[in-house]
Amino acid sequence: MKEFKVTYFFDEDHYIRRFIYMESQEKAEEQIQSERDRYISFQDSRGIYHELNTRDVRVIQLSEYNRIDKSKKVSE
């Protein structure tokens, strides 16, 4: 499974971000497209619960995300 970052922009200053796991970019796009004009709910990385009406979103951005484990030291 790949991790994808989905960002919902309401205007230039306000957005909500979530992470989804899908087999491919195409499957992630299909998931986002299936959520158009309806309510979705999810918890963000801090555990905060969100209910979002995607009809109120101006832009949705989807990109593959490669999480970096910050607990490991990088050797020089």
Q: pLDDT tens, 22-59?
A: 999 999 999 999 999 999 999 988 899 999 999 989 99
Residue 6's φ and ψ, nearest 5 degrees, are: -115, 125
Residue 32 identity: I
How many whole angstroms from its chain centre is CA 37? 16
pTM of structure: 0.81
Distance of alpha carbon 20 from the chain centroid: 6
